[in-house]
Structure 1
Amino acid sequence: MSTPPPTGPLVTRDTVTTQLLALGVRPDETLLVHSSLRALGWVCGGAVAVVQGLLDALGPGGTLVVPAQSGDVSDPALWGNPPVPEQWWGAIRASMPAYDPLITPTLRVGVLPETVRTWPGALRSAHPQTSFAAIGPGAAAILDGHAPDCRLGERSPLARLAELGARVLLLGAGYDSCTSFHLAEYRIPSPLVEVGRPAAGGGWEVVTEVAISSERFDELGHDFERDRPVVRGRVGAADVRLFPVADAVAYAERWLALHRPGDEELRGPAHQSRRPRP
């Protein structure tokens, strides 16, 4: 059986740049991008063309930031999609490679972040499970100092992005992937959780962290978009949303305190699944 031809639309590097600028992306700004390549349509050049289009829109003074999470650098007892047999856990803990920002691949964040991670001149933050990667003159200031016991809180790139007036670009991605909402979880009373991973110097380490969850982020995003200014449009076939990181965090602080008070059962260690959700 022959494969049917793509239905499009045809998206090129220039398409991405032109439509982002029309939406209001500004040269020299900082963008935190969550993306779905598939949502864009048929992209000539794939993820490389999209990154090029983003960088063209931002210009030489702009900085592109993406989540570069590696949730499988973690305790196998917490893995899902699929889990692994309990009798394997000890061997996995003993042999798992420690996080290396240069070579540890991303997981569950899509092909575009992995493309950014490996881009010439890209930098990556130091957290073993919830790192960010960035390209541009602001990359080092944003990524430096990502504390090993602060996945997405005050000592993470998210806090720097909020301080710097960066904006979030949801490029075919939904609010359930909006990492900025997690910073709000650090700014309201939240339960703690122990997170295990291989130590850089060998062996196994456990750190105490704020428990985070993206549960109900789709509802949070719906209300945020209803109540706050959010630029909406399209790039190719993808729905796009553009808004300040700081606005998203401030709104989420109030929303989570009201709608998820004491929801400790929702907040197991996030980003621990070894495989992407189906």
Structure 2
Amino acid sequence: MVHASLSGTGLSPSDARDALLAALGPAGTLVAPAFTPENSDTSRAHRALVEGLSEREVQDFRAAMPPFAPDVTPCPSMGALAESVRTMPGAVRSTHPQTSLTGLGPRAAELLARHHPHCHLGEDSPLAALYEADAQVLLLRVGFEVCSAFHLAEYRLRPPPPTRTYRCVTGAVGNWTSYEDLVLDDRDFAAIGARLPRGLLNGGEWAGKAVVVLGMRDAVDNAGMQMSRYRSGLP
């Protein structure tokens, strides 16, 4: 599972994608987040789209919003590499209207098959399947603040974190629907990554920025251990 920033590398998204697929080999599967926060009226991405509009213009914008469609909805906020994976012939995409994942390779359909529409990144999402598969996480010139695998640790906290209402467009143009799911909080992800045991990480540098590879099980388990302490108010 790769999170990447290619800015400043001189490498095209398709070349980066193809290099990763070549490194994985024919038996490997490449997965990337294909999130669509624009399809949520409570997200920063959506608020930016309607900033400066009048109340009537916002209502018109909402009424005209297209529904999430796995085969065609782009994921612009996830970066060029993720979009390159999503648009390659043969790519698979999970079906969550806000936090889908996309993949290429022999296990993509299996790993992305289960994604309940009311579960962003928990046990009924591809993150759980990737955890069971002992996937690796590649942070390619990005930091742990975008390491979405840590969200799975949030779902496994006991007592569970609070929930909130999410809203998005599904099924038809302007058809806003709502559901309850966990309050996702990535504000401490960078700090969690900084506290991971160095023995769990393999890394290097490319085009002036860090590259880190680690096992998803190790990352999620350690993140959960950290969260269970300080998110409950312990030192």
Q: Would you call these one fold, judging by a TM-score over 0.5?
A: yes
Match of 1:168 in 2: 137
- Letter aligned with residue 154 of structure 2: E
Identity of aligned residues (%): 38
Match of 1:222 in 2: 194
Does residue 69 (structure 1) correspond to residue 38 (structure 2)? The answer is: no
Contact 1:77 1:86 in 2 (8 A): no
1:103: Cα distance to partner?
1.0
| CA RMSD, 1 decimal | 1.8
Structure 2 counterparts to residues 128-139 of structure 1, below 5 A: 128-139=97-108
SS in 2 for 1:108: helix
- Letter aligned with residue 92 of structure 2: L
SS in 2 for 1:147: coil
Structure 1 CA distance for aligned equivalents of residues 216 and 178 of structure 2: 30
- Letter aligned with residue 23 of structure 2: A
Match of 2:92 in 1: 123
Structure 2 unaligned runs (5+)? none
SS in 1 for 2:134: coil
Structure 1 CA distance for aligned equivalents of residues 122 and 202 of structure 2: 26
CA offsets, 1:207-228, max 9 Å, x none?
A: 10111021011111000144x5
- Stretch deviating more after TM superposition (252-261 or 189-198): 252-261
Contact 1:76 1:93 in 2 (8 A): no
Structure 1 unaligned runs (5+)? 1-31, 263-278
Contact 2:42 2:166 in 1 (8 A): no
Does residue 255 (structure 1) correspond to residue 221 (structure 2)? The answer is: no
User: Which one of the candidate residues 233, 244, 254 is aligned to 2:215?
Assistant: 244
Structure 2 CA distance for aligned equivalents of residues 143 and 183 of structure 1: 15
Give TM-score, length-normalised by structure 1.
Answer: 0.77
Cα distance change, pair 58–77 in 1 and its aligned pair in 2 (3 A): closer
Displacement over 6 Å in runs of 4+: none
Structure 1 CA distance for aligned equivalents of residues 66 and 106 of structure 2: 31
SS in 1 for 2:196: helix
- Letter aligned with residue 168 of structure 2: R
- Letter aligned with residue 52 of structure 1: D
Contact 2:137 2:216 in 1 (8 A): yes
Give TM-score, length-normalised by structure 2.
Answer: 0.90
Contact 1:193 1:208 in 2 (8 A): yes
Structure 2 CA distance for aligned equivalents of residues 179 and 123 of structure 1: 19
Match of 2:185 in 1: 213
CA offsets, 1:254-274, max 9 Å, x none?
A: 111222237xxxxxxxxxxxx
